[in-house]
Each structure stands twice: as C-alpha cells, then as structure tokens.
Amino acid sequence: MEAIKLDAQARLERNKFHKHKLRKNGFIPAVIYGKSMKSMAIAVNTNELQKILGQAGSNALIHMNVKREGATEDHQVLVKSVQRDALRGTLIHADFHQVSLKDMVTATVPVHLAGSAPGVAKGGILAQPMRGVEVECLASNIPDAIMVDISNLDIGQEITLADLVLPKGVKATGEGHAHVVAIYTTRAADVEEEAKEEEEESREKGE
C-alpha cells in the first residue's frame, strides 16, 4: 500500500477548552504512540484525515510530518482507532500507531466477494461469517481488501480461511478451517443462526 502524507502539529495543551478550539478550527486532537517513542499529543486536519479514511481506508500507511518545537519529525504510522461524534458522525479524536517498515504488523482487512454463486441461484443462502480477515505482514504490504471469488460456490460448499489467495508476504492469522463464506440450504442457515443465538444467550448468562 502506497504511503500517504499527512501533516500534524504537536500540542502541549490537552484541556477540554483547547480540544474544543481545535475542532472549531477544523482540527482534531490525536495521539501517536509506538514501541520506539513516547506517546505524543498532536493535532491533525479533520478533512485531510477523513479524506484518507474514505479513499484509502483505515489500514493506510501514513507518512506523517509532525511540527514540533520549530523542527519537523517524520513518522510512519497506521490509524489505530478513531472516535466519532455519536450524533453527527464527525471525527473527534484519532490514535496513530508508529510502525517500522521492517517489522511485521497485524491488521484487519475487509473481505469483498466477487462473482455470482450458482448455489444462490438454486435457492441456497449465502452467508459470510467473516467480513474482515486479520493478517500479518509488513506495514507497506497491507492489502486494501481481500477479493474472494464465489462464482463456483454451490449449495453445501464453503471457502475457508486456508482457501484464500493472499498477496505475497501476507499471512492470515486465524484458524484455517474457519468459514469466510458459505452456501447453506435454508434449514442449515436457520440451524446456524439458532446456534449463534444460543451461544450469545449462554455468554450473557455467564456474565
């Protein structure tokens, strides 16, 4: 994945008034952290970050230039998490994780289905238990998405994690037998849904 540039400004003040002022001026408070640095409070342009998330996704490798005490620091970062306003959905905070281009990282990559499954045309139910796959790779190699061809998938068949064709240097970290997508008969789909509901109920009782 190609690195994307984002400018940032180190900030010393962390009180509510300062954060409100940042957001009013088109910026959001954020934090960078990593194993080779102390946590740093920064501010980034809200629209620029939103543009990156919209076009490149949350796994975008970002080349961040941070202005701090009259100098500029360069950091390679990934978006670790973002917070949004509950009502308006606007960005209000972000956490960035500094990474080394030589170290392996983990990321959750969305799964996109391609083609039309013949099993669906025959009345089967398409189920996609896994909409995102956790992978391990270099930060510069995180795929935008994992494409799964379902054009040969018939009733009773599935595609597991082990079946996925991943880019070179990218490894899935989950159980190989886990279903990514499957075609069930109507009854089989009902049974699986009931099993999930029972599992959730048991978990809630246990809590």
Cβ contacts of residue 45 below 8 Å, gap of 6+? 6, 7, 26, 27
Residue 1 pLDDT > 90, yes or no? no
Residue 57 has a pLDDT of: 86
Residue 197 pLDDT > 80, yes or no? no
| Residue 63 backbone class (left: φ over 0; alpha: ψ -120 to 50; beta: rest) | beta
Question: Nearest CA to 23 among 122, 90, 120, 102?
Answer: 90
pLDDT digits (tens, 9 = 90+) for 130-139: 999 999 999 9
Residue 135 has a pLDDT of: 96
> How remote is the C-alpha of 198 from its chain's centroid?
28
Residue 207 has a pLDDT of: 52
pLDDT digits (tens, 9 = 90+) for 142-160: 998 999 999 999 999 999 9
Residue 128 has a pLDDT of: 94
Distance CA 182, CA 204 (A): 27
Instruction: For residues 76-100, give the mean pLDDT.
Output: 93
Q: What pTM did the predictor assign?
A: 0.76
Residue 56 has a pLDDT of: 86
Contact predicate 73/40, CB 8 Å: no
Residue 127 has a pLDDT of: 92
pLDDT digits (tens, 9 = 90+) for 20-62: 899 999 999 999 999 888 899 999 999 999 999 998 888 989 9
